[in-house]
Amino acid sequence: MERSNEDTPRLTNVKRQRIVQVAWTRLRDEALLTAGEQSFTTDSRFQISLKPSEADWVLIIR
């Protein structure tokens, strides 16, 4: 986990090498938060960031 300048946690260690989608789940209740670039939670604190020019999937938690 890293922190950006605005002190927002970001989970970043998933590389896009031949990976079409990444799914993020919440450990305590196994809730699906995101898959690919789609969100499955109504909690607006969770956001996916993926730029075609970059190799990382990033889950931003506000």
Instruction: Write down the number of H helices and E strands in the chain.
Output: 0, 7
Q: What is the pLDDT along the chain (62 residues), one digit of tens a residue?
A: 444 555 666 666 566 566 567 888 999 999 999 988 889 999 999 988 877 666 677 888 88
Please tell me the predicted confidence (pLDDT) of residue 6: 58
Mean pLDDT of the chain: 76
Cβ atoms of 58 and 11 within 8 Å: the answer is: yes
What residue numbers bound the domain in which 16 lies? 2-61
- Indicate which CATH number applies to the domain containing 6: 2.60.40.10
Distance CA 14, CA 58 (A): 8
Structural domains of the chain, count:
1
Distance CA 60, CA 62 (A): 6
What's the pTM? 0.61
State the residue for tokens 């890293």: 2
